[in-house]
C-alpha cells in the first residue's frame, strides 16, 4: 500500500492523536480499535469501532512535489490543531487579531418593509468600541434606522487568503446599533480612521458630508468559525467550543 510507512507510524505511535482527530472532526468521544486506514493528497480515513470509518479532508490538497513529506506535514498540522481547538485563550487572541485585520464589515439588516438588506461598510475604531460610517443614500441606512436592534455584522476572511473557498474564517455577531451625533466622540473616531487609512480615496471628503452618519456597534451573541471542527459561540464575551453534542452534519454512507 502506498505510504504504508506513514500509516504504520501513526498506528504504532500516535493513537491518542487519532482519537483526538475523531473527537474533533467527528464528535466521536469513545472510539475503540482506532487506526489510520489510508491517506492521500486530499485527506485521510480513520477506522474505529470495528467496521466504522471517518474521512477527514486536509484544508488544502497536498502538492505533487514531495508527496511523502507533504502528507507528513499535513498530518502533523492536523494533529497539532487538536489542543489548539480547546485553547480558549488562544482563540480569543485569534478573534482579536482577525477583527484588527479587517477594514470593513458585512451588514445584514431589516428594512421597515420587512425586506432583508445585505451590505457592507468601513469599520472605524475608537476607545475600544467599533463603528461604521454610512450615508443616508445607502439602502442600509433606512433599515438600520428602522430596526437598530435587529442587525448582524460579519467579519469575513478574504478568499485570496483562505486555504479553501469553503474554509473562509468568519466572525458573526448579533448587533445593536446607535447613531452617534457629531461631536467629540465623532471627531476622535474619525481621526483614528484617517490615521489608520490615510485621507485619500475620499476619506477626508466624506468626513464633512452631513448625510453621512457614524453608527456605533454593540456586539451581542456571536459565532467564530476558524475552520473544520473549529467553531465557537460567544455569549456575554465568553467563548465556548461547539462540539459536545455530536456531529451536526449528515454524511452519505
Which tens digit of pLDDT belongs to each residue from 118-152?
Answer: 999 999 999 899 999 999 999 999 999 999 999 99
Is the pLDDT score of 246 beyond 50?
no
For residues 98 and 94, what is the distance between their CA atoms, to the nearest angstrom?
6
Domains assigned to the chain: 4-85 (3.20.180.10), 91-241 (2.30.110.10)
More confident call, 178 vs 237 = 178
Under the banding of pLDDT at 50, 70 and 90, the label for residue 32 is very high
Mean pLDDT value across residues 28-51:
93
Alpha carbons within 13 A on the beta-carbon side of 221: 3
- pLDDT value for 252: 57
For residues 159 and 168, what is the distance between their CA atoms, to the nearest angstrom?
7
Mean pLDDT taken over the chain: 91
Cell numbers for 91, please give them.
482563540
Cell numbers for 120, please give them.
457592507
Residues 6+ apart with CB under 8 A from 11: 18, 35, 36
For residues 164 and 59, what is the distance between their CA atoms, to the nearest angstrom?
7
- pLDDT value for 76: 94
The three-class DSSP label of residue 70 is helix
94 contacts 29 by C-beta, under 8 angstroms: no
Which of 26-40, 54-68, 117-131 has the weakest average pLDDT? 54-68
Q: What are phi and psi of 157, to 5 degrees?
A: -65, 140
Under the banding of pLDDT at 50, 70 and 90, the label for residue 251 is low
- pLDDT value for 1: 46
Is the pLDDT score of 64 beyond 80?
no
Mean pLDDT value across residues 99-110:
97
By DSSP bridging, strand 230-235 and strand 212-227 are antiparallel
- pLDDT value for 169: 95
For residues 27 and 86, what is the distance between their CA atoms, to the nearest angstrom?
14
174 contacts 248 by C-beta, under 8 angstroms: no
Mean pLDDT value across residues 25-46:
92
Amino acid at each position: 500500500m502506498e505510504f504504508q510507512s506513514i500509516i504504520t507510524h501513526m498506528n504504532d505511535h500516535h493513537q491518542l492523536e487519532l482519537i483526538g482527530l475523531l473527537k474533533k472532526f467527528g464528535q466521536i468521544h469513545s472510539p475503540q480499535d482506532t487506526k489510520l486506514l489510508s491517506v492521500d493528497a486530499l485527506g485521510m480515513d480513520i477506522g474505529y469501532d470495528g467496521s466504522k470509518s471517518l474521512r477527514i479532508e486536509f484544508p488544502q490538497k497536498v502538492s505533487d512535489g514531495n508527496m511523502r513529506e507533504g502528507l507528513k506535514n499535513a498530518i502533523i498540522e492536523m494533529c497539532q490543531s487538536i489542543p489548539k481547538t480547546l485553547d480558549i485563550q488562544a482563540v480569543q487572541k485569534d478573534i482579536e487579531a482577525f477583527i484588527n485585520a479587517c477594514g470593513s464589515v458585512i451588514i445584514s439588516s431589516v428594512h421597515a418593509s420587512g425586506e432583508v438588506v445585505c451590505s457592507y461598510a468601513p469599520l472605524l475604531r475608537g476607545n475600544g468600541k467599533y463603528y461604521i460610517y454610512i450615508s443616508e443614500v445607502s439602502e442600509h441606512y433606512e433599515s438600520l434606522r428602522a430596526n437598530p436592534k435587529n442587525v448582524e455584522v460579519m467579519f469575513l476572511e478574504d478568499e485570496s487568503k483562505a486555504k479553501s473557498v469553503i474554509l473562509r474564517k468568519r466572525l458573526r455577531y448579533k448587533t445593536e446599533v446607535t447613531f452617534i451625533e457629531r461631536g467629540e466622540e465623532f471627531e476622535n473616531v474619525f481621526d483614528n480612521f484617517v490615521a489608520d487609512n490615510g485621507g485619500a480615496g475620499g476619506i477626508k471628503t466624506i468626513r464633512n458630508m452631513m448625510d453621512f452618519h457614524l453608527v456605533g456597534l454593540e456586539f451581542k451573541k456571536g459565532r467564530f468559525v476558524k475552520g473544520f471542527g473549529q467553531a465557537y459561540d460567544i455569549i456575554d464575551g465568553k467563548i465556548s467550543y461547539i462540539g459536545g453534542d455530536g456531529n451536526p452534519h449528515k454524511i452519505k454512507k
